Amino acid sequence: MTTTAAETSRERPASLWPAAHAADARRPRSLQTKIGASDTVCARRAGYLLHGRTPTDAGEKRKAILGTFLHVGMLEAAREEYGWIIERRVEDDTIRGHIDAVQVDKDTASRLPKRLRPSLPAEETTVEDIKTKSPFQWDTVLRHGASDAEVRQVLLYADLLRTEGFADIDGQRQLARLGPLPVGRIRFRFINRDNGDDHVQEMPFSAERARGARWWVEQVRAAQAPEDLPRTFPGPGLSAICDNCPFKTACWGAAIAGQRPQSILVHDDAERERTLAEYVEVSEQIKPLKDRLKELRAQLDGSKPGAYGDNVLSWSGGKPTKADDVDAMVALYRQAGLSVPMAPDAAAMKAQLKTADIPVPQRLDHDRRTAVSINVTVRKKP
C-alpha cells in the first residue's frame, strides 16, 4: 500500500508545534468568551474578550503552551502526592476561572469524602497559582514577586471560592457541596522554565484587596465598547504582553511603515506639544540618575563576581569579537580549485583618496537606514 504525503507527515511530523497549537485552541480557556479571571491582565483586552471580538493576531504561543504543559505535570504531581484539589472551576454571574490548586484546611478536609481528603491539609485554606517564567523575568520575580495583574487574578479566584465555593458542575459536585470556603491566604509558585528553580510567595487573603479586583472587573463590564477601556500596557515593541496579544492590531491598528504603533496616540499639535513637554520633563528627571549610574558602574569596575549583600554581581561581554578570516577563506578557495574573487580594496582606495585630499565619493544606500533619534531644544522666544 502506498503512503500518502498527509499520512507520512502524521507518522513523522517535522514539528509537534502544530499539534500543540491545535490542542491548545481546544482548551476551555481558549474558547472562553465570558470574562475569566485569567483574562484580567489588561483592561482593553478583557473588553475585547467580553464583547466577543474576533482575535486579530495569532501571536507567539509556544512559551505559553510550554507553561501549560509544565502546569499540568506539576499540578498532577501535587494531586497524587499531597491530595491537593487541582484545576477546579469557580464562578459567579460575572466572572469565572480555573483555580490551579487549593490546599484545604483540616476542618474542610474532614468534610470531604475519604478519597478526596488531602494527605497534607494546610493551616488555613490556601489558593495557589503556578506561574512559569523565563530566565529574563526571573530577577524581577525574585525582587518584586507577583505583578499587580497576577495578584488581581488570584484574588478573584480566592474571592469566588470564599463567596460561592466550587462551581456546581459535572466532575466536582462533591466539592461544590462544601459551599463557600474560608480562604486564609493566597500563594504564588513561580517556576523558572530554563532551570526549574522555584520561588514561593505567600500573602494573607485580603477581602479589601479582593474588592479592588472586583471593582476592576466592574469597570470592564460597564464599558460600552472595548475601545472605551484603557490600554493597561504601553504597546507593541515596548511590552511583551502586547507583542503577543491576540488583539494587537485591533488595539493599535495596522503597522505603519517606519512609524511606531504608539504614534497613533498623538492626534494634533496640541497633543504633540504636551507629549514633547513631558518628554523634556522626564529627560530632566532621569539625567541625574543616569549620571549617578555611570559613576557607580565606574566604581564597580574590576570588582570580583560574587554575592554582596542582597545582590549578586557578575560580568558579561569583554570577549574578542569575530571577524571574517579572509586569508583562511582564500586558502579554502585555492584548496577547492576555485578562483578567488578580486574585489577592489575599498579601504585602501579611501585611504589613498584622503591622503590626496580628494573627497571620497558616496551614494545613498536605500536598503540601510540610520537610527531615527529624537532631538529637542528650547524654542527661542520671539
Interacting residues toward ligand SF4 by CB under 6 A = 42, 44-45, 231-233, 241-242, 245, 247-248, 251
Q: Measured between alpha carbons, how far is 180 from 240 in angstroms, rounded to an integer?
A: 37
CA 375 to each of CA 25, 276, 280: distance values in angstroms, whole numbers, following the listed order: 46, 10, 10
Contacts for 23-30: CB closer than 8 Å, 24+ residues apart: 24/61, 24/64, 24/65, 24/68, 27/68, 28/98, 29/98
Q: Shortest distance, CB of residue 57 to ligand SF4, whole angstroms?
A: 9
Cβ distance to ligand SF4 smaller for residue 185 or 248: 248
Q: Measured between alpha carbons, how far is 17 from 61 in angstroms, rounded to an integer?
A: 10
The alpha carbon torsion through 105, 110, 114, 116 (nearest 10 deg) reads: -30
DSSP state of 170: T
Residues in Cβ contact with 187 at an 8 Å cutoff, skipping those fewer than 6 apart: 126, 127, 128, 129, 200, 201, 202, 203
Q: Shortest distance, CB of residue 334 to ligand SF4, whole angstroms?
A: 55
Q: Shortest distance, CB of residue 230 to ligand SF4, whole angstroms?
A: 8
Residue position matching grid coordinates 574585489: 343
Cβ distance to ligand SF4 smaller for residue 166 or 252: 252
Grid coordinates given for 186: 493566597
Q: Shortest distance, CB of residue 50 to ligand SF4, whole angstroms?
A: 12
Cβ distance to ligand SF4 smaller for residue 267 or 322: 267
Cβ distance to ligand SF4 smaller for residue 130 or 241: 241
Q: Shortest distance, CB of residue 251 to ligand SF4, whole angstroms?
A: 3
Cβ distance to ligand SF4 smaller for residue 157 or 233: 233
Cβ distance to ligand SF4 smaller for residue 81 or 227: 227
Q: Shortest distance, CB of residue 67 to ligand SF4, whole angstroms?
A: 17
